[in-house]
A and B are shown apart, each in its own frame.
Chain A
Amino acid sequence: MNVYAQTLMEWLKVPEAYLVYVRIGVFFVYALVALTFGALFAGVTSWYERRVAARMQSRIGPNRVGPQGILQWLCDGVKCFLKEDLVPKEADRPLFRLAPYPVFIGIVSTFVVLPFSATVVGSDLNVGLVYLIAITALVVAGILMAGWSSNSKWTLLGGVRSAAQMVSYEIPLALSLLVVVVPAGTLSLQGLIRFQGGAPWNWLVFQSPMTFVAFFLFFTSALAEGNRTPFDLPEAESELVAGYNTEYSGLRFLFFFFAEWMNLYVIGAIVTAVFLGGWRIPGVAWQRQAGSPLLELVGFALYLAKSLVVVNVIIWLRWTLPRLRIDQLMKMCWKYFVPIGMVSIVLSMLFTALVTAVPLLGRITSIGLLVLGGLIGAALLRRTAYAFSSFPDKPYFKWMV
């Protein structure tokens, strides 16, 4: 953003002394734009998710408000605004009122480092990844506050479940990111994107077998971090009524609601930035992309498209999979994910050293892994194609013949 502040100053011919104010102004505008983008994205995603879910369940989904019901989220939002902001009699009032804000802030603050394109980024912190992990921890605090202050056992259970889950899964999350950091040598998100190339075989997913594993590790942990199915225990509808937000109504519930869907974009964006090449256009050097507005736009579109694909996958998962039990969830984290992450880091270091010695090996691995990834994708597509076909005649279980 500093670049833009500089440009604006030159363009307006403002004296050097006002640089701070101009910067503040530019950041303010950027924050507004980013927030609006986030809110818009969250809203539209909530509508989109309902439509996708409906399609999967042979329904239609919201289609009355606006073209194809696209404004449904606006209606729900306005309705929540108008609803009574209810605080239970025995609740811890200040804490209850405060709780939605950390959740909201925790999610929104990620937009500081999340890039939109080559130069459009809040602040390219050199510890971007660490910042991301740190700031999302605020969400845990908010959820725990909400769970505790409502003074209801269901919310408490939901809050505690959520805290346990999110704190645990932060470890494999961080580990899987470290695996990527080792070859790239930077913690900055923009740096990571610059390190990657535009073409798929230059992406960090296919960098080495370890990053390939780390991609899945990260994706799963991020789902757990974001309380999405199959890890949506904190708000398990059939078990815990509505989890930590059981007692919330009106606007405060809206904050939780927004945070949840904004989180979708955040997951998608991080996955794209770290693993899937971010805003890089195939065949274009990043320096060139930083200069031209057109290429920036194309980069942004690419970035958004990749994020949307990830968001889509998350939505599919949500509406297909059942959820795990809390002990299975914890077991999965501590017994499998953490060790895998640890081993991956060590192996990743060795592999990086090896590739530095033999560059050809790196290229071969990338292409090999790309083929593997393609195969996995093809299997997924086959499965999807199956869903569109008519009913199968082959029994799923052999003993059912």
Chain B
Amino acid sequence: MNLQDIIVEAEGGQQMLLNMGPQHPSTHGVIRFLVKADGEVISEAIPVVGYLHRGIEKIAESMPYAGFIPFTDRVDYLAAMFCNHAFVTAVEKLLGLEVPRRAEYLRVIADEMNRIASHLIAVGSMAMDIGAYTPFLHGIREREIINDLTEMLCGGRLTYNYMRIGGVSRDLPDGFLKRLKGFLDRFDPGFINEFNRLIGGNEILVRRCAHVATIGADEAMDMGLAGPNLRASGVSWDLRRDMPYSCYPDLEFDVPVGRGFRGSLGDSYDRFMVRILEMSQSARLLRQAIEKLPDGDIQAKAPRKIKPPAGESYGAVESARGELGFYLVSDGGETPLRLKIRTGSFSAMWAIHRKSAGCMLADLVVLLASADIVAPEIDR
């Protein structure tokens, strides 16, 4: 059944068919929903994705390995560092390359900074979708500081192109760690507490989010959810801890899990709160990484022309939106034979499709925001 048939069928029936998007203020990026609604109550919200399908996977097949790193930035523009990281991990696994310790630490520092930045947008835009505009801009304010830091680090505000196969592109600039420490002192616990006072504990927000679109643990696993969405459902699964990569085994951190903070397990408020808790864990990781940062090289000796042997590898990192994996098939040439990008938003979007029935129109917006969707990650 194609879209036209769905439209015709719904128009003939008792239900109202709403076309939500692609230009709709709350759809994060361009996502379109065909909402079958009976008044305010949704009977089905059919997502129509692909408005941002840029064929990155096809481009990869014609690009040399090193030249593809800038493209990975655009897979998830809110958390571009993770895409860098996952891709270089996949290539390094294929090459069997050992990355210097210092480079690993720099990667982790960059990653965790990016995680904070991404979660800030996630929780802020959730508040915005519920109607409070101010917390979002407070998030943006903190994010600007992180943007400054990444600009110092790699010259980019959004799209970093920081990691290289076998290391990172440049070492820390002077004064970077001091500024990062300054930011952390301000951010955790100061900003997080302020944010919680402003919006996290707001009774209206709690009422809007608690018990809304509850996803149980079994359901979450079945739908392939990952990252904070999965953890909010009570499944303690974090690639950083469970399938360790980079220098995460050296660092101590907790994995916050949803436990029905104000409602039932796995509801929208849990997803919101898990992200806030994760931000403070990221700050903790950053502090440790600054402490332990070793001296040494930042770049392993990688061949100038990267030509990995034929084979397959899967480089996965725990991105801000869950498991981000690059499945790489090489035939021994200069370009990959196939690159498949597995993203968290893709499965989250499917979960939204499944969970939307029975929600109210306003709940769909909450569900969408709480799942933290980024359109290009779905479409690639």
Contact = CB atoms under 8 A, between A and B. Distances in A.
Interface of A: 53, 56-59, 153-154, 157, 229-230, 232-233, 236-241, 319-328, 390-397, 399-400
Contacts of B191: 391
B131 A320 contact: no
Contacts of B196: 395-397, 400
B363 A325 contact: yes
Contact of A238 (B141, B207, B365): B365
Given A237-B25, A322-B202, 12 more contacts: A58-B137, A59-B137, A153-B17, A153-B18, A153-B19, A157-B40, A157-B361, A229-B131, A238-B26, A239-B362, A320-B132, A392-B194
Contacts of B194: 391-392
Contacts of B239: none
B362 A392 contact: no
A323 B134 contact: no
A57 B138 contact: yes
Contact of A325 (B192, B261, B362): B362
A230 B204 contact: yes
Interface residues of B, number: 45
A315 B230 CA distance: 38
Interface of B: 16-19, 24-26, 40, 127-134, 137-138, 141, 186, 189-194, 196-202, 204-205, 207-208, 261, 277, 280, 360-363, 365
Contacts of A399: 261
A381 B294 CA distance: 49
Contacts, number: 112
A58 B138 contact: yes
A392 B131 contact: no
Given A323-B204, A391-B190, A236 B131 contact: yes
A230 B203 CA distance: 12
B137 A321 contact: no
B302 to A, nearest CB: 43
Contact of B128 (A59, A153, A238, A326): A238
A53 B134 CA distance: 8
Contact of B198 (A320, A394, A400): A320
B205 A322 contact: yes
Nearest to B366: A325
Contacts of A393: 189-190, 193
B129 A238 contact: yes
Contact of B133 (A241, A319, A396): A319
Given A239-B361, A391-B191, A392-B194, A320 B40 contact: no
A41 to B, nearest CB: 23
Interface centre among B128, B207, B208, B362 (most CB of A within 10 A): B362
B201 A324 contact: no
| Most B C-beta atoms less than 10 A away, residue of A236, A322, A394 | A322
Contacts of B138: 57-58
Give the top 7 A-B pairs by smallest Cβ distance, nearest first: A391-B190, A323-B131, A238-B26, A396-B196, A57-B137, A322-B130, A322-B132
Nearest to B277: A400
A322 B201 CA distance: 12
Nearest to B201: A396
Contacts of B132: 319-322
Given A395-B193, A396-B197, A324 B26 contact: no
A326 B360 contact: yes
Nearest to B188: A391
Given A237-B25, A390-B190, A57 B133 contact: yes
A392 B197 contact: yes
Contacts of B207: 324-325, 328
B131 A230 contact: yes
Contacts of A239: 26, 129, 361-362, 365
Nearest to B140: A57
Contact of A321 (B16, B202, B362): B202
Contacts of B16: 153
A284 B251 CA distance: 73
B274 to A, nearest CB: 12
25 contacts: A53-B133, A59-B137, A229-B131, A237-B26, A238-B131, A238-B365, A319-B134, A320-B198, A322-B131, A322-B199, A322-B202, A322-B205, A323-B130, A323-B131, A324-B207, A325-B362, A328-B207, A391-B193, A391-B194, A392-B194, A392-B197, A394-B193, A396-B197, A397-B200, A400-B192
A53 B132 CA distance: 11
Contacts of B137: 57-59
B206 to A, nearest CB: 10
Given A57-B138, A239-B365, A395 B189 contact: yes
A262 to B, nearest CB: 22
Contacts of A392: 190, 193-194, 197
Nearest to A230: B204
